[in-house]
Structure formats: structure tokens, C-alpha cells
Amino acid sequence: MRAVISEKGVLSVTDVPTPEPGPGQIRLRVTRAGICGSDLHARHHADAAADATAEIGYTGFMRHDQRVIMGHEFTGTIDAYGPGCRRRWPRGRAVVSVPMIQHGLDVHLTGLSAHAPGAYAEYVLVDEAATFPVPRHVPPDVAALTEPLSVARRAVNRAAITRRDTAVVIGCGPIGLAVILMLRASGVRRIIATDLAPGRRALALACGATSAPEDPWPDLGFATDASQLFRAGLTALRTLRRIPGFPWQAVMRAANPRGPVIFECVGLPGVIEQIITRTPIRSRVVVVGVCMQPDTFRPTMASNKEIDLRFSSGYAPPEFHDALRLLARRRLDPRPLVTDVIPLGSLPAAFDLLSTPGRHAKILVDPTR
């Protein structure tokens, strides 16, 4: 089969043996595969990512000098079953799969490990237990977005955001746009998105952002000056001390307003510090972007503002299934996120194109073309 191999940062289209499904595995004929920001990072920073994942117990992440077929966002049709499968769906049925596959006692990340070749190829192996059928009305361009939408679902869950909260999405690349889609599907009413690229801000509006200014901070309408809170607290005390029963809870609400929920979807050094410096007091910051370099921020500023800083990575299998369910029920429309569909041979050039921000968000690969 034809596949795109990554080795030492170089992508090349070549012929490799068609994989044979092992016990409990299914071979899919790939119909769409998405280019992910993680792939762009792994192409040049694989060793740093491998070292970081090794520290938390996974030693199978791809290395810079290994020959790896990447691609972990995909959909395909069932081509063959391995031994021991339940064979729940007929050959030719469209499915998606959580990109993890088991070999013996080891589980590896599909498309991000030399032990689990990914979907930048005509065929890919998946674990039957991790596979879900795609409803027939969901086209491949939409089904292939199940995985990145799962990442966004995880981020929104980590944020514990309510419909009445204001969401601010910093960075409108594929993951930022997916977060906007998932916030809209969750019923959040006010979604402010920002990006340096005007084209991406336009995509944010198409995905459901209520506004997309170049600078989101001036018009948020939340307290940014501690003296405002001091005055509000004293005013509340003076007013409520005249009221019998002295409702302390009302004083606490007046003196401790909540800020917005910020989603950091850029993943570059310095962005967290910029957010902490400019975000209103008592904001919640969810870091979704993957920064591969060491970074710093001022803890004293975060403490002074009582910033709640959370990090989000990947997703749990139920969140993957939840993203597919939302797509099946048409609770969100991710089609504005897809800015091009290319044949397999154009994938190396697309990697170079996506390395710098521009008009593109999600580029899909169609190996059947």
C-alpha cells in the first residue's frame, strides 16, 4: 500500500506492506485522515514528546530517527477482521476508532508510535473494542473530525463551564475552532474568540463564536482592577449591615465575582503569562495548546488574581463516543473547520503549509484519490 513515512523530520510517500490484522483487530480502508497539530509538533519535536511521555510511564512514543506512519484522526471502512473478533459490522461499513491498539500486553498510540502505524496510508489497523460505527448520514469529512472534537470535549469538561459563563478562546487553529464548536453544542451563550490571523477569526465566527476581535480583553466587562473589588466589598458591607440578619452570603457574592473561562489553544511559550497578565480577576484558564518548549509565568500575578489554572490533554473513550454522538445528532456542524481535502501524495506539502498560520484550519487527506 501507499503511505507517508516520517523519519528525521522528512516526510516521504512510499510503498509499504499492507498490514495484516492480529487478534481482536480490524483493518480499515482509510477514507479520510486529518492533519493534527500534534503531528506537526511530533515531526520536529518527537524526542522531547517521547521523553515527556516516558516520565509518566509510556515509552512507546515515536522518536525522531524512527520510521513512522503518522495520522491519528481518521475514518475508514471495514476491510478485514483478525482472529478472535466479534465481527459486529459488515465489510464496507464506515467506522471511527479511538487511536489506540493493543499488541500483546502493550497498548500503543496509533499514528504516534512506531509500533502502531497510523492513517496516512491506504489502510490502518484498529482495535475492534475501540471502534464505533458511523451513522450512514454522517459523511467522511465530518466523521474524521470525531477525534479532534473529542479533545475539545475533554477541554470543555475540564473547564466545568456553565451556559451563563463567558468563554474566551485564544487561538483559532483546529483545536481552538473545535473548542468553539463544542462550547456552542454545550449551550454556552457568549463565546469570544481571537487569533492574529483574520482568516481564522472569520472561521471562528463560522463555527459559532459570538464575536472575534483582534484584542478580546478591553470589552469583557469583568473586574481587572483589585481596587474595584475592594470598593465593591466595602459598599456591600455598608449596605448589608443595615439589613436585619446580615446576609453574609450576599456579601461574599458581591465581593468575589467570577471571571470568564479562558481556553489557551496556541501552545507557544509566553502565552500563559500573557493570559494571566491580561485576564480579569478570578478567571479560570484551561490550557489546551501543546507547548513543546519550557515556559514561565509569574505565580505572584496568578495568586493576586486568584487565577484557576487547569491543563487538558487528550480525552477519555467516553468523550470520544460523546463527540460522535453529537455529530450523529447534528448538535454541531464542523464543516467550516475543513479548509481542504487532498490526496495522499500532497500531504508533505500540506505539512509545510500548516507550519505557519494562514487561511487553513483542518486539512483532510483522502488516500482513495
13 and 110 part of one domain = yes
Distances in Å between the alpha carbon of 207 and those of 145, 181, 196, 300?
14, 6, 17, 36
132 and 17: one domain?
A: yes
pLDDT at 233 over 70: no
Kindly report the CATH number assigned to the domain that includes residue 155.
Answer: 3.40.50.720
The enclosing domain of 72 has a CATH number of: 3.90.180.10
> Do residues 84 and 201 share a domain?
no
| Distance in Å from the first CA to the final CA of the chain | 13
Q: Is the pLDDT of residue 231 over 90?
A: no
Same domain, 34 and 69: yes
The residue-averaged pLDDT of 107-131 equals 97
Task: For residue 286, name the pLDDT band (cuts at 50, 70, 90).
Answer: very high
User: What is the reported pLDDT for 235?
Assistant: 72
- Is 322 within the bounds of a domain? no
User: How much of the chain exceeds pLDDT 90, in percent?
Assistant: 79
Range of the domain at 161: 148-222+257-311
List, for residues 176-191, the tens digit of each pLDDT value: 999 999 999 999 999 9
Q: How many CA atoms lie within 13 A of 252 on its CB side?
A: 3
Say how many C-beta atoms besides its own lie within 10 A of residue 243's C-beta. Answer: 9
Given pLDDT bands bounded at 50, 70 and 90, which one contains residue 240?
low
Q: Is the pTM of this model over 0.85?
A: yes
pLDDT (tens digit per residue) in 292-345: 889 999 999 999 989 999 999 999 999 999 999 999 999 999 999 999 999 999
Q: What percentage of the chain has pLDDT greater than the value 70?
A: 91
Kindly state the average pLDDT of the residues 25-52. Answer: 94
